[in-house]
Amino acid sequence: MARPRTFDEAQVLRAVREQFWSKGYAATSMDDLMQATGLGKGSLYGAFGDKHQLFLKVFDAYCVNSVESVKKALEGPDAGALERLRQYLLGAATASAAQANRRGCLLARGTAELAARDGAVAERALKTFQGLEATFVRCLEQAQAHGDVAPQVDPRKWGAMLLAVFRGLEAVGKAGMDEPTLRGMVETALGALPVSAKRRR
C-alpha cells in the first residue's frame, strides 16, 4: 500500500515553479528543487516524476491560469467591451514597466528556452497563445456587436495583432522600456482600430 503524502502538493509546486521561473529550466538541478521544496529526490520522483515532468506540470498550470485570468478580466456585457480591452492592455503596459516584473513571465521564459527543442513545451505554449488570441477576438466581437467597432473590422486579424502587442509589452518592458512608452504602444494600436460612425460622433 502506498504511503500517504505528508506534504502540501500545491505548496511544493509553487516552490518548484519559482525555482524554474527564477533560474530557468537548464540551470535548475534536482538538488535545487530538493532544497526549494524540502523534499528528497525519491519523494519528488514518486509524486511528480522527473525534472521534465515537474516542469511541464507547473508550466501547464501557469499557462492555463494565464488564459483564465485574461478571460476573467475581459468578460462582461457587449457594452464596455472595447474599454475593458483598452484598460486591460494599459494595465499590462504598466505592469510590464515595473521593476518587479523584469524577470518576465514563465510562459515567455519557458518558450524562449525550450520550445525550439521540446515539442511538449512548444505545444503547450502555442495552445496558450491561441487561447489568449481567442479571448481578444471574443472581446472585439462583443465591441463590434455593440456598435463600438466598425463592421468592416476582422476581429480575428485584430485579435492576432493585439496578441503581438500584448506579448511585446512584456519583452520590451523586461528590457527596461519606460511606462509612458509602453502605454503609448497600446494607445497607438487601439487608436488605429476602426470604430463605428456612432462612436465617432
Q: What is the pTM of this model?
A: 0.91
Helix (H) or strand (E) holding 45: helix 41-48
Provide the CATH topology of domain 7-49: Arc Repressor Mutant, subunit A (1.10.10)
Q: What is the CA radius of gyration of the chain?
A: 20
Q: Which amino acid is at 22?
A: S
116-174 confidence digits (pLDDT tens)? 999 999 999 999 999 999 999 999 999 999 999 999 999 999 999 999 999 999 999 98
CATH of domain 58-200: 1.10.357.10
Nearest Cα to Cα of residue 30 among 12, 52, 11, 8: 52
**Sign of the dihedral defined by the CA atoms of residues 177, 180, 186, 192, in that order:** negative
Cα(32)–Cα(51) distance, rounded to whole angstroms? 11
What is the residue extent of each domain of the chain? 7-49, 58-200
60-93 confidence digits (pLDDT tens)? 999 999 999 999 999 999 999 999 999 999 999 9
